[in-house]
Amino acid sequence: MIRSIMIGLIILCGMAGPAKAGTLVDNGDGTVTDTGTNLMWEQAQTVPPATYTWEEVITRCEDLVLPAAGYADWRLPNVKELLTIVDDTRYDPAIDPVCFPNTQSYAFWSSSTNFLSSTGAIAWGVEFYHGSASRNLNKTMKFPARCVRGGG
């Protein structure tokens, strides 16, 4: 019975686009697990999405507790991790709409600072309209984010 439920959830979320190494699994607790990267993603987004400065979102992810999931070790993903949930077969937004409902086609924060920024005031993000990395997000501006845990 559990095996058939898991298979149903895997099929429900579907296979990711070409940039994706694994399968997205809706855990039914407000999280999605990528079986290829072993990353667990925060699933829900508000409409319109809540936005934060880079410093605010670092704190938000570190303080995140999803009661149904029971995990408290969340963090802001780096840009490479964030790119793994891009679905190259979609646009506007370029992400699985079943696993990640209500994702808007905005730039989302990553923890990666742009090393070309002499002041460290610029960070990388991922633009979910078309699924590409953006290296010029001013850390004082407000953008949404999706927290992650795990890896390796």
Q: Given pLDDT bands bounded at 50, 70 and 90, which one contains residue 152? A: low
Structural domain including 41 reads 2-150
Q: Given pLDDT bands bounded at 50, 70 and 90, which one contains residue 8? A: very low
Alpha-carbon separation of residue 148 from 17, 22, 72, 116, 130 (angstroms): 20, 16, 11, 25, 21
CATH of the domain at 129: 3.10.100
Q: Which two tokens stand for residue 84?
A: 């793994």
State the pLDDT at residue 1: 42
State the pLDDT at residue 70: 87
- Given a cut of 50, whether residue 130 has pLDDT beyond it is yes
- Supply the mean pLDDT for the chain: 85
How far apart are alpha carbons 17 and 88 in whole angstroms?
5
Domains in the chain, number: 1
pLDDT per residue as tens digits for the range 10-68: 434 654 444 445 799 999 999 999 999 999 999 988 888 899 999 999 999 999 988 87
